[in-house]
Structure formats: C-alpha cells, structure tokens
Amino acid sequence: MRAVTYGRYGPPEVLRLRDVERPTPKDDEALVRVRATSATRSDCGRRSAEYFVSRLLLGIFRPREGTIGLEFAGEVESVGKAVTELVVGDPVFGIGSGTNAEYVCVEESEPVARIPDGMTFEEAASVADGALSAMSLLRQAGVETGDRVLVYGASGSIGVGGVQVAKHLGAHVTAVCNTPNVDLVRSLGADEVIDYLKDDFTRNGETYDVVFDAVGKHAFLRCRRSVASDGTYITTDPGLMWHDAVVALISRRARLGIVRYEKQDLLTLAELLQAGAYRPVIDRTYPLEAVVEAHRYVETHQKTGSVVLTVS
C-alpha cells in the first residue's frame, strides 16, 4: 500500500509517498480502507518537531514511527476476531495513527465510529481532530450552561470545533476571527463575533468565564484582563502551554490543557452530525500525492476549517 512517510524532522519536503507493507489487524482491531484523511497543525508539528518536547515522545534524533496523519474516513476492510461493534463494509471515521495512507488499523475501543448518514468521506475526515480537541479542552476548562466563552481563532479547525461544541454545552459564545470569516463563524452559532483586524478583545473591557485560545496566539499574560476573576484561560499551543505552566503555579485562572481523544466524544460528535447540530468546514482538498503542498498551506496559518487529503 501507499503511505506518507518521513525519515527525519524538517519542512514539508521531508514527506514522501512510498509503498509500505499493509498492516494486519490484531484481534481487537479493524483494518480500514482509507478514502479521505487530513493535514492538520498537529501533523505539521510532529513533522517539524517545532517543540523539543515532542521529540521526547516521537524520537530524539529522528521519528520512531515514520508515518503521519491523525484523522481518517473510509470503509472497514476486515476485523479481528474480538471486534464486535464493527463489521466489514461499515463506513467509519475517527482518530488514529499514520492515517495518511491507503489502509490503517484502529482499535475498536479507540475513537472510531460509523459515519452518519449523508456525510461524504471528505466531510467525515475533516471533523474529528477539531471537535474532539475542543471537547477535551472545554471540558478541562469546566464550561457549563450559561458561561460566557470566548474562542480566539474561531475559523481554524479547532476554533470551528470550539464554537460549535461550546454552543452545544449551552454557553454564550464570542468568536474572534478575521474579516473574511466573520459571516462563516456567525453561521456556526456564535452569539457575538469580533473581527481582530478591527478590534482587540483584550481592550474592550469585557470578561469571560473561559478564554479558549484555539490557535496558540495569546498567552495568558496578554489576555488576563479578559478572564473573569473565577474564570479560566486555556490554549492549544504547546509552547504557550509550557510558558504558562509557570503562571499556572501562581494563578488558578491559567489551565494547562492537554488534548485527550475519547471514543465517547466521537460518538457524541456522530450524534451531533446526524442531527445537523455540527457542521464540517473544509477549506481545501488535495490528493494524497500532494501532501507536501497541503502541509505548506497549513503552515501559512490562513486555513479556514480543515484541509482534506483524498485517497484514490
């Protein structure tokens, strides 16, 4: 089978599409024929080892696994003898490892679920990372019904998830994005939208129960006046996260958010998608062969929603 590999850390050009051995599912795994996958900020961070701490997990001098990709959507090709919930032919989506490939093995207990009726593989491959990241981080921030939540970077993949998940939780959502995406973000359910090219939310005198930085651009010290006295600031960015680790020791308002992908969250997402309460947002679609170009685009930090890779 073909899979995207990389033998060293570096720019997008280190990625190679190569023939590798097709994986064989273990007893508790399903083999999925991938029809669509994605290129995410997390993938770019793994590939470049932007933060040294990532090398502690992936390999100090070179990546141990050498494959890349988190999101997938496709069809179950075969299942292990202990798998009970999935059957051959099921259209499924979720989070895995090394999913920029023609086939991937996923454990049944991990985040994998049937694709809701009417969704394309491309749509299904674009939602899991952003939505599950938002669910995990907003849960850690303790979002409750009636809370005032500000989502900074609301038009990115995790920001799109943050706006829609916060609304699902019953929050009053203020979304921050740039001018071209104001209407999009409002259509996702945001109660208020701030165009950061025109206004600075840190200077408007408003405070929020949760300030969720979905793109890692605002350290706690920069926006602390916007966090209510009993509120919480949380970010997706590892660099700012560890910077704020020091702040968190002295301020209970700064939270060290660590994303945890949960199967139950994916099942909840599937229900929201089926009910039309969550909307996929796809910026661009590339063939798997153009993965280098896709990573280049993701690294411009200008994408809206997700960047999808189709697997022919």
Looking only at the bridges linking them, the beta strands covering 148-152 and 172-177 are parallel
In angstroms, the CA 23 to CA 79 distance is: 12
Query: What is the structure's pLDDT at 113?
Result: 98
- Read off the pLDDT of residues 281-310 as tens digits, 9 standing for 90 and up: 999 999 999 999 999 999 999 999 999 999
If asked whether residues 69 and 135 sit together in one domain, one would say no
Judged on CB neighbours under 10 Å (0-12, 13-18, 19+), 107 is middle
Query: What is the structure's pLDDT at 249?
Result: 53
Residue 66 lies in a domain: yes
If asked whether residues 120 and 133 sit together in one domain, one would say no
Q: Which two tokens stand for residue 246?
A: 């020091």
If asked whether residues 111 and 139 sit together in one domain, one would say no
- Read off the pLDDT of residues 190-223 as tens digits, 9 standing for 90 and up: 999 999 999 999 999 999 999 999 988 777 778 8
If asked whether residues 241 and 143 sit together in one domain, one would say yes
CATH number at residue 63: 3.90.180.10
CATH number at residue 142: 3.40.50.720
Last residue of a domain, one of 239, 255, 271: 255
Residue 264 lies in a domain: no
- Read off the pLDDT of residues 257-285 as tens digits, 9 standing for 90 and up: 789 999 999 999 999 999 999 999 999 99
If asked whether residues 291 and 205 sit together in one domain, one would say no
Last residue of a domain, one of 240, 255, 270: 255
If asked whether residues 122 and 138 sit together in one domain, one would say no
If asked whether residues 97 and 186 sit together in one domain, one would say no
Contact 105, 31 (CB under 8 A): yes
Residue 173 lies in a domain: yes
- Read off the pLDDT of residues 86-114 as tens digits, 9 standing for 90 and up: 999 999 999 999 999 999 999 999 999 99
If asked whether residues 142 and 188 sit together in one domain, one would say yes
Residue 70 lies in a domain: yes
Last residue of a domain, one of 216, 239, 255: 255
Query: What is the structure's pLDDT at 144?
Result: 96
Domain assignment of residue 251, given as a range: 129-255
Q: Is the pLDDT of residue 248 over 90?
A: no
If asked whether residues 104 and 194 sit together in one domain, one would say no
- Read off the pLDDT of residues 160-183 as tens digits, 9 standing for 90 and up: 999 999 999 999 999 999 999 999
Average pLDDT, the chain: 92
Residue 260 lies in a domain: no
Task: Give, for 113, the enclosing helix (H) or strand (E).
Answer: strand 112-114
pTM, whole model, 2 decimals?
A: 0.93
If asked whether residues 65 and 145 sit together in one domain, one would say no
Q: Which two tokens stand for residue 65?
A: 């696994």
- Read off the pLDDT of residues 18-69 as tens digits, 9 standing for 90 and up: 999 999 999 999 999 999 999 999 999 889 887 656 666 666 768 777 899 9
Residue 134 lies in a domain: yes
Contact 78, 88 (CB under 8 A): yes
**What total of structural domains would you count in the chain?**
2
In angstroms, the CA 71 to CA 309 distance is: 10
Residue 273 lies in a domain: no
Contact 54, 37 (CB under 8 A): no
Residue 263 lies in a domain: no
In angstroms, the CA 20 to CA 100 distance is: 12
Query: What is the structure's pLDDT at 251?
Result: 66
Looking only at the bridges linking them, the beta strands covering 148-152 and 112-114 are unpaired
Query: What is the structure's pLDDT at 19?
Result: 97
If asked whether residues 116 and 137 sit together in one domain, one would say no
